[in-house]
């Protein structure tokens, strides 16, 4: 463990302010759900920073960092780092230089700064039809639009479609675009023999300037944004589970409208084994869907379900033989996609409306609990074991 921590710390130092995707990790922490509603512009700007595709440069990133800290924590209130700790000292200097600037003024400056950054560096406009969008980097996610169906396909078959940090961002962008495009139905599915093996455990090794704490903080924000996006998704959302599903790819199924699975699929949430805790609103949706003791067996003890068991428990809508899975499911979805889109939207809204506030609150709490878990020895040891090939599920 100590060796892993040392290795992680070294990677973090060398990675200082190098990549634009590290901007959000520089102290971003969106705070409590109450704060979130009253600071919408600020939170939108925080999300926008994560979507920047061009590096705004270290000076801007440092300003963003300082304004973020001032906006969320007020004037610099931590001891000055030692002379040799030059990374943290630079950050501390930038924050401290803001003196007694009020939180409100810092929020405003942060929003102004973000909106002044080139719009060309933002993600594609939500209005862009899915088919015309540039594929995300490395094609780990493939988004297509055909026959009234926008399909978001996890495309890292050699890694069992494990979700990298970039993929969470790309899925958020794809969902935002799909919510506004011409399609009637949106589908999430996987390439290859797996649906998804959950969070990519190597995400924990990509540390930015703020080290483990910052990684956990930015992970909390990203997780919350990702799940919020699913909670608010306005069109019918269908999971086409083409193989085994693990971790977060299972927990979010409670937020989908329909889940079709091949009979080869399994559903596994090994959170305790990983020293982690449930997310994706599963602490609320699973007991509601399958009853509290069945949910506990999955979420506490990591019981892996077959597709038939998941169907019997109400997590899966229908199971299909693997040989005819793709043909049967897509034929059915094509027929459904011809239904009047507005009626589908409105009906979904009525079905989900009463739950939304609750789901957002559950999501905020689960994300915050996970942030603490990620810093625990139990979690670090489990990840170290996986990375050193000592453990698999």
Residue numbers at the binding site for ligand LQSD347O (CB under 6 A): 159-160, 162, 168, 197-202, 219, 222-223, 246-248, 270, 274, 276, 279, 386, 392-393
Residue 19's contacts (CB-CB under 8 Å, 6 or more residues apart) are: 55
Smallest gap from residue 393 Cβ to ligand LQSD347O (A): 4
Nearest alpha-carbon partner for 264 in 308, 313, 317: 308
Tell me whether residue 109 or residue 217 sits nearer to ligand LQSD347O (CB atom): 217
Residue number of the CB atom closest to ligand LQSD347O: 247
Tell me whether residue 71 or residue 222 sits nearer to ligand LQSD347O (CB atom): 222
Tell me whether residue 71 or residue 274 sits nearer to ligand LQSD347O (CB atom): 274
Smallest gap from residue 286 Cβ to ligand LQSD347O (A): 14
Smallest gap from residue 132 Cβ to ligand LQSD347O (A): 28
Q: Is 304 helix (H, G, I), strand (E, B) or coil?
A: coil
Tell me whether residue 94 or residue 163 sits nearer to ligand LQSD347O (CB atom): 163
Rounded distance between C-alpha atoms, residue 153 and residue 330, angstroms: 14
Which residue's structure tokens are 């988004």?
143
Smallest gap from residue 150 Cβ to ligand LQSD347O (A): 23
Smallest gap from residue 12 Cβ to ligand LQSD347O (A): 17
Smallest gap from residue 167 Cβ to ligand LQSD347O (A): 10
* Residue-by-residue DSSP string for 183-221: -SEEEEEESTT-SB--B-GGGGG---TTHHHHHHHHHHH
Rounded distance between C-alpha atoms, residue 19 and residue 57, angstroms: 9
Smallest gap from residue 7 Cβ to ligand LQSD347O (A): 17
Do 318 and 331 contact (CB within 8 A), yes or no?
no
Tell me whether residue 148 or residue 275 sits nearer to ligand LQSD347O (CB atom): 275
- What 8-state DSSP symbol labels residue 295? H
Tell me whether residue 111 or residue 215 sits nearer to ligand LQSD347O (CB atom): 215
Tell me whether residue 150 or residue 363 sits nearer to ligand LQSD347O (CB atom): 363
Tell me whether residue 196 or residue 240 sits nearer to ligand LQSD347O (CB atom): 196
Rounded distance between C-alpha atoms, residue 188 and residue 152, angstroms: 5
Rounded distance between C-alpha atoms, residue 217 and residue 214, angstroms: 5
CA–CA distances in Å: residue 12 to residues 6, 103, 209: 10, 29, 6
Residues in the chain: 393
Smallest gap from residue 280 Cβ to ligand LQSD347O (A): 8
Do 126 and 180 contact (CB within 8 A), yes or no?
yes
First to last CA, the chain: 19
């Amino acid at each position: 463990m100590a060796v892993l921590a040392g290795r992680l710390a070294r990677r973090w130092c060398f990675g200082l302010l190098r990549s634009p995707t590290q901007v959000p990790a520089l102290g971003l922490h969106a705070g409590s759900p109450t704060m979130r509603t009253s600071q919408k512009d600020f939170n939108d700007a925080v999300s926008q920073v994560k979507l920047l595709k061009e590096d705004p440069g270290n000076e801007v990133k440092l300003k963003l960092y300082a304004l973020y800290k001032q906006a969320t924590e007020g004037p610099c209130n931590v001891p000055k780092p030692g002379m040799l700790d030059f990374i943290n000292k630079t950050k501390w200097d930038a924050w401290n230089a803001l003196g007694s600037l009020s939180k409100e003024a810092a929020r405003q400056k942060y929003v102004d700064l973000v909106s002044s950054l080139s719009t060309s560096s933002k993600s594609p406009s939500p209005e862009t039809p899915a088919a015309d969008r540039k594929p995300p980097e490395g094609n780990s996610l493939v988004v297509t639009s055909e026959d009234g169906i926008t399909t978001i396909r996890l495309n890292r078959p050699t890694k069992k479609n494990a979700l990298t940090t970039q993929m969470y961002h790309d899925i958020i962008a794809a969902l935002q675009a799909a919510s506004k495009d011409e399609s009637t139905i949106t589908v999430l599915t996987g390439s290859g023999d797996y649906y998804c093996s959950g969070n990519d455990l190597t995400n924990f090794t990509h540390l930015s300037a703020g080290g483990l704490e910052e990684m956990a903080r930015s992970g909390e924000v990203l997780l919350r944004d990702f799940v919020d996006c699913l909670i608010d998704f306005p069109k019918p959302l269908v999971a086409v589970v083409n193989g085994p599903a693990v971790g977060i790819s299972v927990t979010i199924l409670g937020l989908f409208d329909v889940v079709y699975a091949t009979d080869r699929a399994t559903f596994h949430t090994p959170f305790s084994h990983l020293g982690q805790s449930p997310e994706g609103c599963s602490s609320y949706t699973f007991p509601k869907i399958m009853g509290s003791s069945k949910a506990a067996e999955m979420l506490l003890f990591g019981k892996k379900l077959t597709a038939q068991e998941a169907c019997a428990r109400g997590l899966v809508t229908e199971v299909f033989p693997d040989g005819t899975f793709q043909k049967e499911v897509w034929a059915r979805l094509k027929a459904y996609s011809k239904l009047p889109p507005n009626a589908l939207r409105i009906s979904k809204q009525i079905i989900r409306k009463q739950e939304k506030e609750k789901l957002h609150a559950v999501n905020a709490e689960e994300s915050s609990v996970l942030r603490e878990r990620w810093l625990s020895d139990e979690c670090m040891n489990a990840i170290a074991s996986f990375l050193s090939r000592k453990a698999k599920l």
